[in-house]
Chain A
């Protein structure tokens, strides 16, 4: 028995003499530089994708053994390795190897449970000795989609993370500015051209006269009525009867009509000739001229 114990101790010391140097060499020659785990360790649900990136630094000429990498599609405790990729670059006689593992959760549970991304062992070849390095597990809380025993799922729906919104403030500003300009332009066009009283200040004396004059086209005895309409507009605006000799006073009180001084004077001359003298013009020609004049007077009245 004593002899057996001595043999066993000899074998252990022998194994130690062989194995220990390789462990020491492995710690020196390969090391994990960084592990990037998923951002959240709770609220993980079925179907979620979890990425893990491991950067390992290993002495040249060691390379990662691609044969020893975990197999895509492996499932361990409800966690499937959906994808794996590795890349390497050399830097200062070291190989920097980046490995990306992509897991997808395929499990179900009625209550939140702790799950883990499995430990992974990476092996390196190309050197005198075999090297390997282990990446530890990463634990997380798995959440069920609905609580157990629910009769109405709607009441227990969990809020999702809000999607990040695109900043559209600048677009809104441009939109409202464009809309405002469009409306202003539209109002301006209506104000300038419209005959009807659609806006305040549109139903001035000459606007009314212009509307009435347009209705006279083609009517018998329209010419005299046309003169009357324009005279009435002048009288109302002046506050009393307006005659040619009062024109300067009228223009002093209504300066916006000054640019039409000659036309207004001509109007009074023609009006006198038509209403009070024997010689008169062709009715249609006169009405058209009066319609044109009333439109110009209306434009002055509206300040356009």
Chain B
């Protein structure tokens, strides 16, 4: 009976998840992969860093998804003078002329906060980063002599990599808190570009977002369902060996015969993927397996999220750091192409048996 209930839950939630994608795809064109990845992050309960140029639709995408998730949506703009307390409270003069203090965007909705959007996070100072990262990790904060819990909150942040003035690079420890860094690129398809230029519906982001059906998901049940989903999807020994090889390859790519053009691979990596990063990788991969209507993890599930989960976690030596976006993508591509599955270790084990 219990198993039957779980199966029903899995099926129902899956149909909701796929509906979320369909709804968002109605208003956001050419970003199917990004939408799928964000859907995975929502069900894996991970925070997302969006990376892309100006005016590519990041905000519209986030607002559409927030509408589908339901719950409260809050947003803050990253600026050079933004301070941590701006997230917690703000002060103003009341009607009676006396100063008043009100809860800031992070606390305003309380436990109903489902999506917190930090626009241009790299414009904010490291102090703000520190606060955000703590809240992202712990999902609670103390203020006004009490504890505010934010159990359903996921943070979507974006960073503009075009401009460098008055920006603060997000340190590697901070990047690691984000489950994924998803690139938002301008669609290459000519017809889509034409539609984005000439179809007037894309000119009004607010009305566009309203076309998306709201509350497709029940935001306050996502945590519970995520736990169920994670325990439901199984992985075989062969796949676990493969995941271990992938992890090792992010630390010692030369051991797997990985080569990059014009790069000394032996000196490229300073720090590979973290245990938290690899845990998140498998978590996201399980969600992908569930979306593909499977109850076992396949290598394809890991591949579906590997770039977006691992690339921003790699720390390169200083001489390569200024080329990190290109090199990280190239390295993760080479890792997937070179690390064998079934792994050589699996093969040796089978032979020994």
A 155-188 contacts with B by CB, 8 A: none
**Residues in chain B near residue A220, CB distance under 8 A:** 353
Q: Which of B236, B294, B340, B351 contacts A241 (CB 8 A)?
A: B340
Q: Which of A224, A228, A245, A278 contacts B300 (CB 8 A)?
A: A245
Interface string of A221-253 (1 = CB under 8 A from B): 100110110011001000011011100000000
**Is A241 a contact of B353 with CB atoms below 8 Å?**
no
**Is A276 a contact of B299 with CB atoms below 8 Å?**
yes
**Is B350 a contact of A225 with CB atoms below 8 Å?**
yes
**Shortest beta-carbon distance from B261 to chain A in Å:** 15
Instruction: Answer yes or no: B338 CB below 8 A from chain A CBs.
Output: yes
Interface string of B315-353 (1 = CB under 8 A from A): 000000000000000000000111111100011001101
A298–B299 Cα distance when bound, in Å, is 26
**Is B300 a contact of A244 with CB atoms below 8 Å?**
yes
Instruction: Answer yes or no: A8 CB below 8 A from chain B CBs.
Output: no
Instruction: Answer yes or no: A272 CB below 8 A from chain B CBs.
Output: yes
Q: Which of A232, A244, A245, A276 contacts B340 (CB 8 A)?
A: A232
Instruction: Answer yes or no: B134 CB below 8 A from chain A CBs.
Output: no
Interface centre among B239, B339, B341 (most CB of A within 10 A): B341
**Residues in chain B near residue A221, CB distance under 8 A:** 350, 353
**Shortest beta-carbon distance from B341 to chain A in Å:** 6
- Would A277 and B340 be within 8 Å (CB), given that A221-B350, A224-B350, A225-B351 are in contact? no
DSSP majority for the A interface? Answer: helix
Instruction: Answer yes or no: B298 CB below 8 A from chain A CBs.
Output: yes
**Is A241 a contact of B341 with CB atoms below 8 Å?**
yes
Instruction: Answer yes or no: B303 CB below 8 A from chain A CBs.
Output: yes
**Is B342 a contact of A243 with CB atoms below 8 Å?**
no
**Is B338 a contact of A225 with CB atoms below 8 Å?**
no
**Is A276 a contact of B346 with CB atoms below 8 Å?**
no
Instruction: Answer yes or no: B29 CB below 8 A from chain A CBs.
Output: no
Instruction: Answer yes or no: B296 CB below 8 A from chain A CBs.
Output: yes
**Residues in chain A near residue B341, CB distance under 8 A:** 231, 241
**Is B296 a contact of A225 with CB atoms below 8 Å?**
no
**Residues in chain A near residue B336, CB distance under 8 A:** 241
Instruction: Answer yes or no: B82 CB below 8 A from chain A CBs.
Output: no
**Residues in chain A near residue B337, CB distance under 8 A:** 240-241
Instruction: Answer yes or no: A275 CB below 8 A from chain B CBs.
Output: yes
Interface string of B66-87 (1 = CB under 8 A from A): 0000000000000000000000
**Is B234 a contact of A278 with CB atoms below 8 Å?**
yes
**Residues in chain B near residue A232, CB distance under 8 A:** 340, 347
A267–B342 Cα distance when bound, in Å, is 14
**Residues in chain A near residue B235, CB distance under 8 A:** 276
Number of interface residues of B (CB under 8 A): 25
Q: Which of A224, A240, A277 contacts B342 (CB 8 A)?
A: A224
* Nearest-CB residue, chain A, relative to B297: A276
* Nearest-CB residue, chain A, relative to B351: A225
**Is B236 a contact of A275 with CB atoms below 8 Å?**
yes
**Residues in chain A near residue B234, CB distance under 8 A:** 278
- Would A272 and B346 be within 8 Å (CB), given that A235-B340, A243-B303 are in contact? no
A232–B353 Cα distance when bound, in Å, is 19
Instruction: Answer yes or no: B238 CB below 8 A from chain A CBs.
Output: yes
A277–B233 Cα distance when bound, in Å, is 10
**Is B339 a contact of A241 with CB atoms below 8 Å?**
yes
**Residues in chain B near residue A231, CB distance under 8 A:** 340-342
**Is A241 a contact of B297 with CB atoms below 8 Å?**
no
**Shortest beta-carbon distance from A42 to chain B in Å:** 90
**Is A278 a contact of B296 with CB atoms below 8 Å?**
yes
**Residues in chain A near residue B236, CB distance under 8 A:** 275-278
Interface centre among A225, A231, A276 (most CB of B within 10 A): A276
A278–B351 Cα distance when bound, in Å, is 21
**Is B338 a contact of A240 with CB atoms below 8 Å?**
yes
A245–B339 Cα distance when bound, in Å, is 16
**Shortest beta-carbon distance from A227 to chain B in Å:** 7
* Nearest-CB residue, chain A, relative to B235: A276
**Residues in chain A near residue B238, CB distance under 8 A:** 224, 275-276
A220–B340 Cα distance when bound, in Å, is 23
**Shortest beta-carbon distance from B270 to chain A in Å:** 26
**Is B342 a contact of A227 with CB atoms below 8 Å?**
yes
**Shortest beta-carbon distance from A257 to chain B in Å:** 19
**Residues in chain A near residue B303, CB distance under 8 A:** 243, 245
A241–B338 Cα distance when bound, in Å, is 6
**Is A276 a contact of B347 with CB atoms below 8 Å?**
no
**Shortest beta-carbon distance from B320 to chain A in Å:** 23
**Shortest beta-carbon distance from B104 to chain A in Å:** 45
6 new A-B pairs (CB below 8 Å) besides A241-B338, A241-B341, A277-B296? A225-B347, A241-B336, A275-B236, A276-B298, A277-B295, A278-B234
Lowest 7 CB-CB distances: which A-B pairs, in order? A240-B337, A277-B296, A221-B353, A224-B350, A275-B238, A225-B350, A228-B342
A-B CB contact pairs (8 Å), 30 listed: A221-B350, A221-B353, A224-B238, A224-B350, A225-B347, A227-B342, A228-B347, A231-B340, A231-B341, A231-B342, A232-B340, A240-B337, A241-B337, A241-B338, A241-B341, A243-B300, A243-B303, A244-B300, A272-B298, A275-B239, A275-B342, A276-B238, A276-B239, A276-B299, A277-B236, A277-B294, A277-B296, A278-B234, A278-B236, A278-B295
